[in-house]
Structure 1
Amino acid sequence: MKRIGVLTSGGDSPGMNAAIRAVVRKAIYHDLEVYGVYYGYAGLIAGQIEKLEIGSVGDIIHRGGTKLYTARCEEFRTLEGQKKAIEQLNKFGIEGLVVIGGDGSFQGAKKLTEHGFPCVGVPGTIDNDISGTDFTIGFDTALNTIIEAIDKIRDTATSHERTYVIEVMGRNAGDLALWSGLADGAETILIPEENYDMEEVISRLKRGHARGKKHSIIVVAEGVGSGMEIGKVIQEQTSLETRVTVLGHIQRGGSPTAFDRVLASRLGAKAVELLIAGEAGKMVGIQNNQLVSHGIDQALSIPHKIDQDMYQLSKELSI
């Protein structure tokens, strides 16, 4: 293999730039040429591809977002779109592709591999919802952004003796809600992986208020439902002054943490190693702080699971 490509796809996450940098420099170290694909699969179909040098990825390791930009692409979901993408890859002489993104991006990498074009996936999503890895690139940074926001909200909640409902991202995964809720001592954490009883939530708030508790923090994963609606129900059924904060896309931005920079660097370099070794259709990950690789199809077929011990602990500590 003499020439590889790299793209980012789907939602951006802090650390993607560090992963791009690792792919480019690891490849050049091994005497490979590297081409960057701009705007994900949409840019791949359109041929928005250019050669990257060592200097092309200088001064980006600390930056959020992605140098290669990202976009959704419905056309790539079709067989015709996938064939156009492969035509562009062949046109530029690219022999292997590193795809940095979430499960939708991995689906695309799987399709290209099935058509005979070797791909390796690098898990980049703040949701932490990819099986086969303990952590995805961007999760730690987003988590710390949430914690910082909740810390500040807690100050005003205390001052005004209010109940605050904080809605966080995560799509259909509750990791961001669970980890941030546990780290910030939330009274209740609602995640899509676990059913919840609104009466129990209300009862817990009333018990806390009765023993003199002045404020409460409730963290809601977006996959559960609307934080606004949950806040409305709490206000109506408890008569406690309730406010709702939807953190939104602030969670995706910002300079990546040291953890995400190191994770991205390790995973990006490992992806290049797999391509050089001829291992296509794989994803890289980290488990027990060791780099691992799995078949992308295997990772996509296994549902994401929450850490049940951590969830139980969050309930025990919030009595």
Structure 2
Amino acid sequence: MTRATALPPLFLSHGSPMTAIQPGAAGAFMTALGAQFGRGALPRPRAILAVSAHSLARRPVLLVAPQQHAVYDFGGFDPALYELRYDAPGAVDLAAELQQALPEMLQTQAMSGLDHGIWTPLRYMVPEADIPVLPLCFSPQARPEELWALGEALAPWTERDVLVMASGSITHNLRRVFQGGAAFDAPEISESRAFRDWWAAQAAAGNWSALMDYRRQAPHAVDMHPTDEHLLPWFIAAGAGGVASGAMRLHESVTFGCLGMDAYAFGPQAAVLASALGSAPPLPGQFA
């Protein structure tokens, strides 16, 4: 039985590296989200297990170090980005627990470094950088079903005050962003809106089979995700939340007209978090 204080796994769209200094609506949401842990609706995490679209490996690997720090895995952006720091403790004890419990599923590697998909949200959520962070790399060749199974295996730790934070982007076609020359606050293109609406509807209904088959079933799927890696972390968080509960969209916004910034929570406590943030949960038969 899931105890009342289990932490709901999250999927956060981190957007462009510029989100770190150009927060927009998503940055304001992440700040409000962080305030709910420890001081708000939910307990303070003892550690954050972070899964990012920018930390990839051939198979799941935990990056273990006593201290973690921001790495700048991008180029050609505002020089101010390279001055930002995020130095957080590494969750060495959690890594040992996970590797001992799931030896066939997880490997460990002695390595430090948080990619921008991790430290950008955490700068808003945990600005003090005082919660240990453990990055988990995944394979971009993994099928959604495989990543769901990985999330299911991680689910017990949500009841041990571990926050599973998956980071990617609900829509992610950088060719459209860079070639279109769209402004940060450009109106959303219809293809992005159709994809995000379809995803939110299936998620609210718990239509997991359709979501796992999104490249065939979702409108404009290949356009909005020419490659899968920015959406695949969603399935790890969803698996950690469990099949019994639907997914709750906590936030929706768009930057550059096509880069979706939606955020989701999973599991029985998702509704508690949504209520605390002022996001009314969908009624049965309705979609977010």
> Do the structures match in fold with TM over 0.5?
no
Q: Higher helix proportion, which one?
A: 1
Scaled by the length of structure 1, what TM-score is found?
0.31
Pick the structure with greater CA Rg.
1
